[in-house]
């Protein structure tokens, strides 16, 4: 692996931005305030921000590469390769593909989740981003419980989220536009979809015990858990008692405050910040951040959002940039137990971004180093001339 030298950038060190040079060797940052030494690859970072790579613990934008239109499928390997390029080009060096495993057939089926997991495992060495598997288990998907338990025991799941969208599904069946979208996603006829929902909801009394068993399996496998769309402090408490200490998109301030009071990680969507509010009309993420009720921003459904959100928070005066950046880098790294990344320091994984911040709300990514490799560069003039290497002396026999 080629050693890399970054010359003279404005680096985020702890909670301060300071001008310094960094040296990278192998997968790690080896020196701060470094000299070039024998590094063959050097990049002029002067005038640029040098930031730790983004960690995305919940991103499902890859679904659009798999099914760009309802009923139009593309091969999983092609979709994942494209998603990797999109993630890297938006500064995401660690990506958890949030994969729904539902009672639905089609895009969000257990068969599709299995195929995606297997494809990630096959393609992982080819990806530029450190790519992981976040399993979003729809709790009414009772038939998949044994298989998910096996995946957990085999170490194939990196995060396990408990989702329950059944009330929303039933409510949306009375709304023609939303109903049609759900039906198209499954590939069923409207009548088949109705019968499926009726059959699944008839087993509602079995759901709590299934959730408890899967949570026990996740604890045994030391897999971190999330609960999705907690609606009340009581709901958050129930999942916390099962070991799910990450609250993903709590739907109101009361529930977010209850999570914060117990030290839970609290996740909101970065698109919510960029757009100025939730597309569902729920909690405004910027308000929660201002009140200290958010520790992680995820890309959710739009890969560019994390980079943009951090700079939006700084420009709007909600948080200074170092604290805003914590929400997309160190914060998600802490929540997922990845202690080797999220900050710039000697011995940490070399996930590094070079960013032109001359336009406050439109940061421009110049270069991305992921795991010690230069994987993205938009300005070749930043490359410095190769260092002169001493010639070997040949001694005549």
Domain CATH code at residue 47:
2.30.40.10
Instruction: Indicate the pLDDT class of residue 371, thresholds 50, 70 and 90.
Output: very high
Residues 6+ apart with CB under 8 A from 302: 61, 270, 271, 274
One domain, residues 42 and 76: no
**Residue 39 burial (C-beta neighbours within 10 Å; 0-12, 13-18, 19+):** buried
Query: What are the pLDDT digits (tens) for 172-224?
Result: 777 888 888 788 878 888 888 889 889 999 999 999 999 999 999 999 999 99
Q: Residue 159 forms beta bridges with which residues?
A: 134, 224
Residues 92 and 234 in one domain: yes
In a domain, 293, yes or no: yes
Residues 253 and 361 in one domain: no
Phi-psi region of 383 (alpha: psi -120 to 50; beta: other; left: phi over 0): beta
Q: In this structure, are 217 and 321 located in the same domain?
A: yes
The percent of residues in the chain predicted with pLDDT above 70, rounded, is: 96
**What's the angle, vertex CA 394, arms to CA 392 and CA 396, rounded to 5?**
170
**Which of residues 280, 310, 335 is at a domain's end?**
335
For the four alpha carbons of 51, 57, 61 and 67, in that order, the dihedral sign comes to positive
Instruction: Out of 300, 335, 370, pick the residue that ends a domain.
Output: 335
pLDDT (tens digit per residue) in 167-179:
877 777 778 888 8
pTM over 0.85: yes
State the Cα–Cα distance between residues 116 and 110, nearest whole angstrom. 10
223 occurs within a structural domain? yes
pLDDT over 50 (residue 257):
yes
What the block records as the tokens of 341 is 């990344």
Tokens encoding 319: 């948080």
Task: Kindly report, residue by residue over 56-80, the tens digit of the pLDDT.
Answer: 999 998 988 888 887 788 999 999 9
For 355, which DSSP code?
E
32 assigned to some structural domain: yes
What is the token pair recorded at 288?
């929660």
Same domain as 362, residue 245 = no
In a domain, 397, yes or no: no
Overall size of the chain counted in residues: 397
Residues 60, 36 within the same domain: no
- Which helix H or strand E contains 108, and what residues bound it? none
Same domain, 214 and 235: yes
Contacts of 82 (CB under 8 A, 6+ apart): 65
Q: Pairing state of beta strands 4-13 and 41-44? A: parallel
Same domain? 221 vs 182: yes
- Residues 100 and 159 both lie in one domain: yes
Q: Tell me, what's the pLDDT at 179?
A: 82
Do 129 and 187 lie in one domain? The reply is yes
The enclosing domain of 214 has a CATH number of 3.20.20.140
Confidence of residue 389 (pLDDT cuts 50, 70, 90): low
What's the total number of domains in the chain?
2
- Are 40 and 58 within one domain? no
357/217 same-domain check: no
| Domain containing residue 353 | 4-52+344-382
């Amino acid at each position: 692996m080629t050693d890399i030298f970054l010359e003279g950038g404005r680096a985020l060190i702890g909670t301060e931005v300071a001008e310094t040079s960094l040296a990278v060797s192998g997968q790690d940052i080896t020196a701060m305030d470094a000299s070039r030494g024998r590094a063959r690859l050097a990049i002029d970072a002067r005038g640029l921000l040098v930031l730790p790579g983004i960690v995305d613990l919940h991103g499902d934008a890859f679904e659009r590469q798999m099914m760009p239109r309802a009923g139009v499928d593309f091969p999983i390997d092609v979709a994942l390769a494209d998603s990797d390029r999109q993630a890297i080009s938006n500064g995401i060096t660690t990506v958890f593909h949030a994969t729904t495993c539902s009672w639905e057939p089609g895009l969000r089926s257990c068969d599709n989740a299995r195929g995606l997991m297997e494809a990630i495992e096959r393609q992982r060495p080819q990806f530029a981003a450190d790519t992981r598997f976040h399993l979003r288990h729809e709790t009414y998907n009772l038939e998949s419980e044994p298989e998910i338990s096996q995946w957990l025991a085999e170490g194939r799941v990196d995060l396990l989220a408990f989702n329950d969208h059944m009330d929303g599904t039933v409510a949306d069946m009375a709304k023609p536009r939303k109903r049609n979208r759900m039906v198209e996603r499954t590939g069923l006829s409207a009548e088949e979809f109705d019968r499926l929902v009726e059959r699944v909801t008839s087993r509602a009394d079995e759901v709590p015990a299934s959730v408890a068993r899967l949570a026990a399996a996740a604890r045994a496998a030391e897999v971190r858990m999330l609960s999705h769309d907690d609606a009340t402090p009581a709901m958050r408490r129930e999942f916390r008692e099962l070991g799910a200490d990450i609250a993903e998109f709590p739907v109101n301030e009361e529930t977010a405050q209850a999570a914060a009071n117990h030290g839970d990680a609290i996740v909101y969507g970065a698109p919510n910040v960029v757009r100025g509010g939730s597309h569902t009309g729920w909690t405004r993420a910027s308000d929660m951040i201002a009140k200290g009720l958010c520790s992680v921003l995820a890309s959710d459904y739009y890969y560019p959002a994390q980079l943009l959100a951090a700079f939006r928070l700084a420009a709007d005066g909600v948080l200074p940039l170092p604290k805003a950046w914590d929400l997309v880098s160190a914060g998600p790294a802490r929540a997922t137990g990845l202690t080797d990344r999220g900050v710039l320091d000697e011995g940490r994984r070399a996930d590094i971004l070079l960013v032109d911040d001359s336009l406050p709300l439109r940061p421009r990514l110049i270069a991305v180093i992921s795991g010690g490799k230069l994987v993205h560069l938009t300005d070749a003039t930043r490359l410095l001339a190769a260092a002169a290497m001493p010639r070997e002396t040949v001694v005549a026999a």
